[in-house]
Amino acid sequence: MLKNIKSVGVLVAICSVIALLLALTNQITAPIIEKNSAAAANKALLEVMPEGKGFEQVDMSKYTLPATVTEAYKETSGKGYVIKLTTTGYGPGMVIMCGVSADGKVTGAVCLSSNETLSKEKEYGKVFAGKDAAAVEATDTIGGATMTTGAYKNAIKDALTSAKVLGGENVDVRTPEQIFQDNLAAALPAGEGKFTKMFLTEVLEGVDAVYSADNGAGYVAIVGEEFAGIEAEAPTAYPAIADAIKAMTESTLTDVDLTAYEGIHKNVTSAKKTAGGNYVLEVKGAGYGIVGGDEYHPASGEYIVIRVSMTADGKIIDCLTVSQAETPNLGSVCGDESFSSRFDGKTEADIPAVEGIGGATMTTDGYKTAILRCFAAVQILEGGAE
């Protein structure tokens, strides 16, 4: 029994000595580790602001900054700020560090990490050194790496904006999409900020687009640069537009039997006629998903499905991408309203000049070819030649 007690005592003594040694080691090494970590952090900061004397991290909770900004540092002698950003290029997780001088110019930019396929982001930051906001805006993206370098360029613009905010300037950091949604909400507060773009099947004179409130409170019509709020019940503002929207939403569509006509391309899968004599067609576009494919991005085997409304004399009223399986963050842009709306109001002669998707030639060509087949189909449905 006494022997066991002695063994426990020895074990406790050994553990105590080890604990004491570990505590002493930590006391000695902790400041060294902290110093080395700070030196590594400062090295990254100095890479984009070589003239910096020292840096202190900014409490970002006190500011409204672009969503891409993850960290911000102030140069202690007043030379400016270093901004760390995370953005999505061809893929997510592109981390960029950018220095901005006190007079609003880029002192340096570097990509710290990324998941891009072509590695164009590794050297792209060098082109921004010494540039102000206007010069950054004018900087070209790299052909074949539009998504990567475009995202990088936008991150640099966010860094310049952030430096202004941190320096005390009153800057609107909202994205164009956020501004647009805020304008919709302001035009029809009863819509509670949730709107969906309507697919127009009739020409609404002077109206570029209509957004309906998801809760049924009414509509917002885009008339030039004006956002016109129209209540669903007893509308008092914009009565002519309100009547036109009501007539369109209450009108019925008549199915057209495409098999009764010769020469309509097989990719035009359906057609309907509106009360006003217009057509609504659905068509399949053979984009990258059908004709593309390589070791990095295999083809999906799926068509781009597009809905087009068109007047009988051949002018697009509205265009909508119903579905697509193009390359994410590249050809998939064809699914965005910002792309499909480029065809609104266009005639057949206008289509070749419609701006395509950078770096997604197959997607763009397939989309445009599908639209042209709709023009051809309407001509046949109206009794014209193929």
Sheet holding 218-223, edge to edge: 195-197, 209-213, 218-223, 226-231
Helix (H), strand (E) at residue 304? strand 304-310
Lowest mean pLDDT among 170-174, 209-213, 254-258: 170-174
The pLDDT, as a whole number, for residue 255 is 97
The pLDDT, as a whole number, for residue 10 is 56
How far, in Å, CA of 182 to CA of 176, rounded?
A: 10
Percent of the chain scoring above 70 in pLDDT: 89
242-279 tens-digit pLDDT: 999 999 999 899 999 999 999 999 999 999 999 999 99
The pLDDT, as a whole number, for residue 43 is 80
Lowest mean pLDDT among 66-70, 135-139, 171-175: 171-175
Tell which residue, 67, 119, 96, 144, has the closest CA to residue 330: 144
Q: Is residue 117 over pLDDT 60? A: yes
Segment 143-163 mean pLDDT: 91
The pLDDT, as a whole number, for residue 16 is 62
How far, in Å, CA of 121 to CA of 374, rounded?
A: 40
How far, in Å, CA of 255 to CA of 271, rounded?
A: 6
Q: Phi and psi at residue 256, in whole multiples of 5°?
A: -110, 130
The answer to whether residues 194 and 215 touch, using CB atoms and an 8 Å cutoff, is yes
Confidence of residue 41 (pLDDT cuts 50, 70, 90): low
The pLDDT, as a whole number, for residue 36 is 47
Confidence of residue 118 (pLDDT cuts 50, 70, 90): confident
State the chain's mean pLDDT as an integer.
89
The answer to whether residues 349 and 355 touch, using CB atoms and an 8 Å cutoff, is no
The larger pLDDT score, comparing residue 2 to residue 177, is at 177
Segment 102-107 mean pLDDT: 97
How far, in Å, CA of 286 to CA of 369, rounded?
A: 8
Tell which residue, 293, 357, 369, 305, has the closest CA to residue 330: 357
> 10 Å Cβ neighbour count for 310?
26
Residue-by-residue DSSP string for 58-75: --GGGS---TTEEEEEEE
Which residue pairs, CB below 8 angstroms and at least 24 apart, start in 249-256? 251/201, 251/202, 251/275, 251/276, 253/201, 253/280, 256/381
- Strands 218-223 and 226-231 come out as antiparallel
The pLDDT, as a whole number, for residue 379 is 97
* DSSP classification of residue 347: B
Confidence of residue 31 (pLDDT cuts 50, 70, 90): low
Helix (H, G, I), strand (E, B) or coil at 25: helix
Query: Which residues 6+ apart lie within 8 Å of 105 measured at CB?
Result: 130, 131, 132
How far, in Å, CA of 233 to CA of 82, rounded?
A: 52
Segment 113-135 mean pLDDT: 92
The pLDDT, as a whole number, for residue 231 is 92
Confidence of residue 91 (pLDDT cuts 50, 70, 90): confident
Is-above-0.85 flag for pTM? no
Q: Is residue 62 over pLDDT 70? A: yes
Q: Phi and psi at residue 159, in whole multiples of 5°?
A: -65, -45
The strand ranges marked E within 194-303 are 195-197, 209-213, 218-223, 226-231, 254-255, 268-273, 279-285
Tell which residue, 44, 61, 66, 64, has the closest CA to residue 157: 66
Segment 269-293 mean pLDDT: 96
The pLDDT, as a whole number, for residue 37 is 42
Which alpha helices (H) appear in the chain, and where do they start and end?
2-48, 121-124, 133-138, 146-166, 176-187, 239-250, 288-291, 337-340, 361-381
Confidence of residue 33 (pLDDT cuts 50, 70, 90): very low
Burial letters 163-189, b for 16+ CB under 10 A, else e = bbbbeeeebebeeeeeeebeebbebbe
Question: Tokens 């109001």 belong to which residue?
Answer: 345
Q: Is residue 34 over pLDDT 50? A: no
- At position 119, the amino acid (one-letter code) is S
> 10 Å Cβ neighbour count for 193?
14
Q: Is residue 200 over pLDDT 70? A: yes
Tell which residue, 148, 129, 168, has the closest CA to residue 49: 129
